[in-house]
A and B are shown apart, each in its own frame.
Chain A
């Protein structure tokens, strides 16, 4: 049996045991990773694994189970387990699979898979890691140490089938190269990182560029000071602007909305951000990391405008949360092997503006250019935002000196309406993509 047949067989077994509906997800993956530190190979890892997950419904009661054992006995136990559990859960009027009319798969080639990745020789991969680290180490004498260069690749397969007639599968690949140099000045160390990621080996940026970029990033952190507490304009570079989009995703996904656990609950159609903000979720763009032909309930991926010129247009939903809200799924169901479908994003993209980052910075007399955020201090329920920050102080339109051990704070509501500029530097490095974002004013807490 191929994996699609294994999934379909599990569904048939569930129906025979009394389930009224069932769906089965199978994933398989093989990973390779190599890390090189100070020029020497440090770690090589290579392996593969598989797993299956099953969700069954008995009327409006739901149970789920999973296994890493895809033998007939393993599948049989998985089915028995899910059916047993469905007898223990509560009737939920909104539980159920998507309607048959909602199921389907994109037919165009999304360019998620490259044969090249499977055929790549180990020494070529190790060499990429070595070159990235070497480029970082040779960039500046203040780079005295390294956490290494690394190469990672992954080949994955996904199968999904349900009792309403859907069966689909797709394969995907990715590879990435990264470097993590450490620099020191006056006995104080800093580290930073940079990476490139692509569906194919030939789509990667050069390891040397990765190493040099990581090196530039760590060097500019040396000699950081803590500034005084004050309110100033804040500029998020693209890497940290992406984390802000991550917070917004949490606030627009359906399960936060129906529970009223988001500051954006009940705000559909309202102006929640300044006109400059247009935020799109799009799972259909060929070659990108958030693209897939169908979601984890068998609903085709699509393009969903989330915020258009500051107006909240859509929440991101799976079948369950859509029914709770009296809406239609947006094809954003996402699950691993265990549990039920939650919600994920496709390519979550903040549209670019017109100014370059340099032009944005040039317009600021006194402000903070943020290059790293740490901690989890974002409360989606209230919108309260307070995170540890690292970056460069802006003085008279230029990046003047490095800053660390400070926090930036405000609320997501105010930040959205106070966006002063959006940069033209949108790039795709992962499934969340943002250009530079400038916020009019936030509190920087330091000395």
Chain B
């Protein structure tokens, strides 16, 4: 597809000449680099609660961000109005970061390489709203049917279709159409006169709506949420103190996201404020661990044809056999440090400055059979699901909250335990990985990563992993 047929050219009449001219405005005071980011976002959401479709919302937002880099300085301005006067004004405001005469000659734009990791013909956002309501209703029905102890069900279905266009003063012009959808089911269950417990499941990705009919049905998510809530009804207090911890496959990969992923983002490392700063080439995990961040997996929630700075996403090896290999770069950090782009420059919207971010972060499979990993543990904790985590980049301390876990006694899973937070230190925790399963699994596709006030969709994954020592924050 030529630029003239692309979304912004067709819908708003933006020409290549316009873009070159705006970039010149942005560099009119002598900046070293400028880029333009156009974004059109259409979103929909449906919420079912008490079997009533209580909310159905849709809407659009549109805008443009202009960035100018001068040395290590960044100037940024945005507009929700795409008239030429407003775009020029934004470019001139962003230009204020630099002081002096223009020094970069106007660069002609060239269309960048294109590919499609999510060949979605009709995005879920473009289907009839009623079809999406019906899918969400199926989840409600299935969750209620799962077990008579389930007394509350809430289903949220949400999708969006993001159109972006990036033009940079180093001559790159590219665009992408990014569909995304997810379904989440929350249930509450209780025994007669007992305390309610919750269960939560969901998933999605960059797919056609049919994915919810063929690959992961509403019934699948509903039953999984129901199962988790029922399991929790029998939960005992979680242990407190250092334990052997086994992580189940899939969503527990959030460990990698918190323990190492954020600490390897290049902005923190360039500034020397990450616990991983200056550690490339060093052993930061057990030799069993190879961790990658891969934005190129077809259809995944964290995947991108193009990052928000116009670079193609990549498969980046972060840790190879325990050795730290590289950081995740954005334009600013790679310009300053001379590193190659990794396709990791992302932003929440046109109102935000891009930063290095993760895409899909996971550990490669090892050789152990998952049942052997569990069998090897005389006493410990098995974590099947997590509710999220957080990290202090500088000290490296991270937490993640187990929402479904079990005691391991004599190599067997015994009783479910109540929610507990696990805590560790990034560069240290993964040195205690002593077994890695052959069962790598990626999560179902609901992850949201927050950094400095900006949220972006991400994925995680991990095989079954044994960690010999980690502090479990229970009460028993």
Whether both chains belong to one complex is answered with yes
| B68, closest chain A residue (CB) | A44
A370 to B76, CA, bound (A): 37
Q: Please state if B55 and A386 are interface contacts (CB–CB under 8 Å).
A: no
| A221, closest chain B residue (CB) | B395
A65 to B55, CA, bound (A): 10
Q: Please state if A46 and B133 are interface contacts (CB–CB under 8 Å).
A: no
Q: Please state if A46 and B77 are interface contacts (CB–CB under 8 Å).
A: yes
Q: Which A residues lie within 8 Å of B456 (CB)?
A: none
A338 to B43, CA, bound (A): 9
Q: Of B43, B45, B76, which contacts A43 at CB under 8 A?
A: B76
Q: Which A residues lie within 8 Å of B195 (CB)?
A: 382
B460 interface contact, C-beta 8 A: no
Q: Please state if A191 and B471 are interface contacts (CB–CB under 8 Å).
A: no
- The stretch from B201-209, B238-246, B371-379 touching chain A is B238-246
Q: Please state if B61 and A45 are interface contacts (CB–CB under 8 Å).
A: no
Q: Shortest Cβ distance from B31 into chain A, in angstroms? A: 12
Q: Please state if B419 and A379 are interface contacts (CB–CB under 8 Å).
A: yes
Complex interface bits, A32-48 against B, C-beta within 8 A gives 1, otherwise 0: 00000100111111110
Q: Please state if A49 and B394 are interface contacts (CB–CB under 8 Å).
A: no
A72 interface contact, C-beta 8 A: no
Which parts of B285-310 form the interface with A (CB within 8 Å)? Answer: none
Q: Please state if A443 and B240 are interface contacts (CB–CB under 8 Å).
A: yes
Question: Which of A224, A388, A406, A446 has most B Cβ within 10 Å?
Answer: A388
Which parts of A178-194 form the interface with B (CB within 8 Å)? Answer: 182, 188-191
Determine the main DSSP class of B at the interface with A.
strand
Q: Of B77, B273, B388, which contacts A191 at CB under 8 A?
A: B273
B214 interface contact, C-beta 8 A: no
B281 interface contact, C-beta 8 A: no
A384 to B397, CA, bound (A): 22
Q: Shortest Cβ distance from B475 into chain A, in angstroms? A: 5
Q: Please state if B60 and A68 are interface contacts (CB–CB under 8 Å).
A: yes
Q: Which B residues lie within 8 Å of A64 (CB)?
A: 55-57
Q: Which A residues lie within 8 Å of B421 (CB)?
A: 375, 377, 386-388, 407, 409
Total inter-chain residue pairs, C-beta < 8 Å? 250
Q: Which A residues lie within 8 Å of B63 (CB)?
A: 49, 68
Q: Of B74, B93, B424, B473, which contacts A42 at CB under 8 A?
A: B74
Complex interface bits, A58-94 against B, C-beta within 8 A gives 1, otherwise 0: 0000111111110000000110010011101111100
Complex interface bits, B71-99 against A, C-beta within 8 A gives 1, otherwise 0: 01111111110000000001001001100
Q: Please state if A443 and B474 are interface contacts (CB–CB under 8 Å).
A: yes
Question: Which of B54, B152, B389 has most A Cβ within 10 Å?
Answer: B54
Question: Which of A85, A379, A445 has most B Cβ within 10 Å?
Answer: A445
A365 interface contact, C-beta 8 A: no
Q: Of A191, A229, A384, which contacts B419 at CB under 8 A?
A: A384
Q: Please state if A68 and B80 are interface contacts (CB–CB under 8 Å).
A: yes
Given the known inter-chain contacts A43-B353, A49-B351, A88-B130, please indicate yes or no for A409 contacting B420, CB distance below 8 A.
Answer: yes
Q: Please state if A374 and B397 are interface contacts (CB–CB under 8 Å).
A: yes
A84 to B188, CA, bound (A): 32
A163 interface contact, C-beta 8 A: no
Q: Please state if B242 and A44 are interface contacts (CB–CB under 8 Å).
A: no
A379 to B56, CA, bound (A): 27
| B129, closest chain A residue (CB) | A88
A386 to B390, CA, bound (A): 13
Q: Shortest Cβ distance from B156 into chain A, in angstroms? A: 11
| B77, closest chain A residue (CB) | A47
A339 interface contact, C-beta 8 A: yes
Q: Which A residues lie within 8 Å of B361 (CB)?
A: none
Q: Please state if B61 and A40 are interface contacts (CB–CB under 8 Å).
A: no
| B51, closest chain A residue (CB) | A90
Q: Which A residues lie within 8 Å of B78 (CB)?
A: 47, 49
Q: Please state if A409 and B73 are interface contacts (CB–CB under 8 Å).
A: no
Q: Please state if B473 and A409 are interface contacts (CB–CB under 8 Å).
A: yes
Q: Which A residues lie within 8 Å of B54 (CB)?
A: 62, 89-90, 92, 95, 340
A261 interface contact, C-beta 8 A: yes
Complex interface bits, A377-413 against B, C-beta within 8 A gives 1, otherwise 0: 1010110101110100000000000001111111000
Q: Which A residues lie within 8 Å of B77 (CB)?
A: 45-47
Question: Which of B49, B57, B389, B398 has most A Cβ within 10 Å?
Answer: B57
Complex interface bits, B181-200 against A, C-beta within 8 A gives 1, otherwise 0: 00000001000000111100
A68 to B63, CA, bound (A): 8
Q: Shortest Cβ distance from A92 into chain B, in angstroms? A: 5
Q: Please state if A189 and B275 are interface contacts (CB–CB under 8 Å).
A: yes
Q: Of B45, B49, B61, B395, which contacts A189 at CB under 8 A?
A: B395
Q: Which A residues lie within 8 Å of B154 (CB)?
A: 259
Q: Which B residues lie within 8 Å of A254 (CB)?
A: none
Q: Which A residues lie within 8 Å of B129 (CB)?
A: 84-85, 88
A376 interface contact, C-beta 8 A: yes
Q: Please state if B80 and A50 are interface contacts (CB–CB under 8 Å).
A: yes
Q: Shortest Cβ distance from A252 into chain B, in angstroms? A: 16
Q: Shortest Cβ distance from B157 into chain A, in angstroms? A: 12
**B: number of interface residues (CB 8 Å):** 76
Given the known inter-chain contacts A260-B196, A375-B400, please indicate yes or no for A92 contacting B90, CB distance below 8 A.
Answer: no
Q: Which B residues lie within 8 Å of A16 (CB)?
A: none
B231 interface contact, C-beta 8 A: no
Complex interface bits, B27-57 against A, C-beta within 8 A gives 1, otherwise 0: 0000000000000000101000101111111
A51 to B62, CA, bound (A): 10
| B232, closest chain A residue (CB) | A382
A323 to B93, CA, bound (A): 49
Given the known inter-chain contacts A189-B275, A261-B152, A447-B241, please indicate yes or no for A409 contacting B474, CB distance below 8 A.
Answer: yes
Q: Please state if B475 and A409 are interface contacts (CB–CB under 8 Å).
A: yes
Q: Of B55, B72, B271, B401, which contacts A89 at CB under 8 A?
A: B55
Q: Shortest Cβ distance from A262 into chain B, in angstroms? A: 9
B234 interface contact, C-beta 8 A: no
A226 interface contact, C-beta 8 A: yes
Q: Please state if B401 and A377 are interface contacts (CB–CB under 8 Å).
A: yes
A409 to B422, CA, bound (A): 11
B164 interface contact, C-beta 8 A: no
Given the known inter-chain contacts A40-B73, A45-B76, A339-B57, please indicate yes or no for A405 contacting B390, CB distance below 8 A.
Answer: no
Q: Please state if A388 and B395 are interface contacts (CB–CB under 8 Å).
A: no
A351 interface contact, C-beta 8 A: no
Q: Which A residues lie within 8 Å of B240 (CB)?
A: 229, 407, 409, 443, 445
B272 interface contact, C-beta 8 A: yes
A261 to B153, CA, bound (A): 11
A207 interface contact, C-beta 8 A: no
A247 interface contact, C-beta 8 A: no
Q: Which A residues lie within 8 Å of B151 (CB)?
A: 260
B468 interface contact, C-beta 8 A: no
Q: Which A residues lie within 8 Å of B74 (CB)?
A: 42-44
Q: Of A189, A339, A376, A388, which contacts B55 at CB under 8 A?
A: A339
Q: Shortest Cβ distance from A445 into chain B, in angstroms? A: 4
| B49, closest chain A residue (CB) | A259
B58 interface contact, C-beta 8 A: yes
| B394, closest chain A residue (CB) | A191
Q: Please state if B473 and A81 are interface contacts (CB–CB under 8 Å).
A: no
Which parts of B332-380 form the interface with A (CB within 8 Å)? Answer: 351, 353
| B74, closest chain A residue (CB) | A43
Q: Please state if B73 and A43 are interface contacts (CB–CB under 8 Å).
A: yes
Please name the 9 residue pairs, one residue from A and one from B, whose CB atoms are nearest each other, closest first: A407-B473, A66-B59, A375-B399, A388-B399, A377-B421, A229-B241, A445-B240, A191-B394, A68-B61
Pull 22 A–B residue pairs with CB atoms less than 8 Å apart, ordered by A: A43-B75, A44-B97, A47-B93, A64-B56, A65-B57, A68-B60, A68-B80, A88-B129, A89-B54, A90-B51, A229-B240, A259-B152, A338-B59, A375-B388, A375-B390, A386-B420, A387-B421, A388-B399, A388-B423, A407-B423, A445-B473, A447-B241
Interface residues of A, Cβ cutoff 8 Å to B = 37, 40-47, 49-51, 53, 62-69, 77-78, 81, 84-86, 88-92, 95, 145, 147, 182, 188-191, 221, 224, 226, 229, 259-261, 337-340, 372, 374-377, 379, 381-382, 384, 386-388, 390, 404-410, 443, 445-447
Task: Supply 13 further A-B pairs (C-beta < 8 A) apart from A191-B395, A340-B54.
Answer: A44-B97, A64-B55, A66-B59, A66-B61, A67-B60, A89-B53, A90-B51, A261-B196, A337-B59, A338-B45, A379-B418, A386-B238, A388-B397
